[in-house]
Structure 1
Amino acid sequence: MVRQAMKTATTVNSTHVDPSAVPPSELVPMRYPGRRLTALVVLVVAASLGYSVVTNDNFEWPVVREYLFHPEIMAGLRTTLILTAVSMTLGILIGIVLAACRMSENRVLSSLSGAYLWFFRGTPLLVQLIFWFNLSALYPRLSLSVPFGGPEIIGASTNSVLNLWAVAIIGLTLNESAYMAEIVRGGLLSVPKHQTEAAVALGMNRWLTFYRVVLPQALRVIVPPTGNQVIGMLKHSSLVSTIALADLLYSAQLIYSQNFRTIPLLVVISLWYLVCTTVLSYAQRHIERHYGRGIQTGTRRPSGFMKLSLNSRRRQRSQPNDNPTPARRKNR
């Protein structure tokens, strides 16, 4: 039995042909009937679901078309986009500072940065927004004064300083900066240390080393999760509706609280969120492609496994043993 198994293995190895040694014209794709059957079932289910959504009168599609470009909806969409842009920009800037402090050899800065990340990543964003909204219950007046009970230099009422816009931006920014700090820190740590050492050996200073060597390599790791955070910020900004800031969701709530068309208005804001996330995803893909240049090298592999045609196998078997093919020489 052992001798027979060894003979079978030798036969298999002798008939095996390396696909790279065969011209592409003699390669044919393998067939996967299971994949086609699965794809057919998924398409049937998706088509059935789409048909039920389109033909269901309870969605009230005429009402959706009526309110899709309603002035209040457009104003709420503008508020959502402004909140996303401002909070994300400030969150990235503060996150870079926090990442630098977290990686600092100064234990005080590193500990304070770690405590900041621990608090803002450990508490829900909704709780933070409500806390900032009710900060006047703890501090009725915000002021800049000499420490430990000294005279006040400048001050104002908390409610006058922290209006709805300020509360929303502060809450979203501080929460987002904690996550961006870890993303930036992970990207910087992904650059091998010998890259920096080589740059220093070439005579580059610290700023030039960071700008020309470390940053381009770190951005390949930073950009994908940052794009996800931007999309997440766009959706998380809907939480500001709890503090009565007229964003996209709150605008829709004001409308359907009057006409009781809840489902159509929710469909309207869902469509606008989908449009915004699609645009952001498209931009993210192009930015990733820009910073990922040079990673994938070589020719592109064909999709799916390939097998040799019957004529090619017969021709390989008919060759004499004293002049083995490159594939047989490799197997030996």
Structure 2
Amino acid sequence: MITLAWPWVLAALPLPLLAYLMPAASPAGGAALRLPFYADLPGLAAAAAGRRSAWRIGAAVLAWVLLVTAAARPEWVGAPVNLPVAGRDLMLAVDISGSMEQPDYEMDNRMVSRLAVVKAVAARFVERRTQDRLGLILFGSNAYVQTPLTFDGHTVAAMLRDSVVGLAGRETAIGDAIGLAVKRLREQPDDNRVLILLTDGASNAGQLEPQAAAQLAREAGVRIYTIAIGGGEVGLRTALGMRLLRQGGDYDPESLKQIAQVTGGRFFSATGREELEAIYEELDRLEPSRRDERTYRPRESLFVWPAAAALVLSVLLALPLLGGRGLGVGYGR
């Protein structure tokens, strides 16, 4: 849609009519200015005599209308665009320690690692949170902020998909990951600070104990939702048929339950891909994105087009006046 930013400027359109309404100057007072070299400009007199021809008057009127229109600042206004400015601040802390490479999950009829399942499901969860600011922490022996809080969920999901086991070390520093998330979230508005912690093992590295980190999170108003990866049974095909084996012994749900309880969050156990997807759906209900009704409409200024057209018309009107000798004016006599 095209609108005018200053429509009141259009009131200047009838101003040229004043030139016709004003009375002509009386010759009784004598000439105010003599041009003795006027006759030396061949073509100028003929052009001046025809200045009131229909096409010249029409072109002059059109040029004036275009100039006034340009001064009124025409703008193209686009469709309303929602502003994702009111949502939660979510940090996602993902364990990429050595135990996350165990291939004890099934996806697309094949066994894949724990981290592969987390990537596939968590990336879709991240991309759905269009109204939230999200950040990503990857941790193993150490914890690192992979992406700070941002509305760009596609980048967060891409960084998560690019993560590899062992990038941050082979051990598990859960306390350090929580502490780093608290540091990033504590400056954000109250009731918006949420950490989703995904890990498959007991904490065996780092400077900060998980329970001490949970107390810091509680004091900072950060809710922690813990998701335990692994711990279920997986089928293993053998020569004697299918056998059910319990997943790795590093599974420690009790510590994760305590962390969630201390901070007012919840504990989830994901023993399969379907359960993990159900957990993220539950998180969508527990931590809904708060919609904001504020919108903005993109604007693009269009004044340059009528201004350029008026300039072209002005040049065309001036060409006959530059005929004959052009600019070579003599001042003889």
Q: TM-score range by the shorter chain?
A: under 0.3
Q: Which has the higher strand share?
A: 2
Structure having the higher helix fraction is: 1
What's the TM-score, normalizing by structure 1? Answer: 0.18
Q: Which has the larger radius of gyration?
A: 2
Greater RCO between the two (CA within 8 Å, min separation 6)? 1
